[in-house]
């Protein structure tokens, strides 16, 4: 009986160390390779921001290999990417209330599905799946739209999210030789 109590105490201590020491350490280490970035837009009555981690290409084939086609991607690295708007906006004709959302995508060679989800999970992928399965709850999607892929002639080394004013406000995601832009209106 004493042995089982001792074993239980050791297991509890190891779990607590993993949660309070190991997880923050791992997050700090991964951000060395995929630094945190923020894209902001404050025009046309909109105040938008996107917080994300920016992985590098490093000679790899990105879409279709590192990021599989037709699978949900947490859209960046580390914690899920977050999109914040201070007012109600319209994303490709779909109404999105003010708030902070996790941003998910489903890449495809011709078009991407872009999802704004009401929940922002801690990490975005399950560790047991080796990062292949996301923690996104599709029932919590506030908006889901489809945007066309624009092939790029020059490679983009680091995954980048930016805002552009090209015939209206757009949030653009660029990496490798792929660019996807999502129109946003007030």
Q: Which pLDDT tens digit goes with each residue over 124-139?
A: 655 554 556 677 788 9
In a domain, 147, yes or no: yes
In a domain, 126, yes or no: yes
- Phi, psi of 113, deg, nearest 5: -90, 130
In a domain, 95, yes or no: yes
In a domain, 12, yes or no: no
- Ranges of residues in the chain whose predicted pLDDT is under 50: 25, 27-32, 129
| Full domain range(s) for residue 172 | 35-185
In a domain, 23, yes or no: no
- Residue 74 gets the label, from left (phi > 0), alpha (psi -120 to 50) or beta, of alpha
d(CA 34, CA 91): 27
Closest CA to 75 of 20, 117, 45: 117
- Please state the domain count of the chain: 1
Does the predicted TM-score (pTM) go above 0.85? no
In this predicted structure, what is the pLDDT of residue 53?
94
């Amino acid at each position: 009986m004493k042995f089982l109590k001792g074993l239980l105490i050791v297991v509890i201590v190891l779990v607590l160390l993993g949660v309070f020491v190991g997880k923050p350490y791992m997050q700090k280490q991964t951000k060395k390779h995929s630094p945190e970035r923020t894209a902001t837009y404050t025009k046309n009555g909109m105040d938008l921001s996107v917080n994300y981690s920016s992985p590098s290409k490093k000679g790899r084939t990105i879409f279709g290999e590192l990021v599989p086609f037709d699978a949900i991607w947490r859209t960046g690295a580390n914690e899920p990417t977050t999109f914040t708007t201070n007012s109600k906006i319209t994303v490709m004709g779909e109404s999105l209330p003010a708030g902070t959302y996790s941003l998910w995508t489903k890449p495809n060679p011709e078009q991407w599905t872009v999802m704004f989800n009401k929940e922002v999970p801690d990490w975005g992928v399950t560790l047991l799946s080796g990062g292949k399965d996301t923690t996104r709850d599709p029932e919590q999607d506030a908006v889901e739209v489809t945007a066309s892929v624009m092939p790029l002639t020059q490679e983009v080394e680091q995954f980048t999210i930016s805002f552009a004013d090209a015939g209206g406000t757009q949030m653009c995601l660029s990496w490798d030789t792929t660019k996807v832009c999502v129109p946003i209106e007030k």
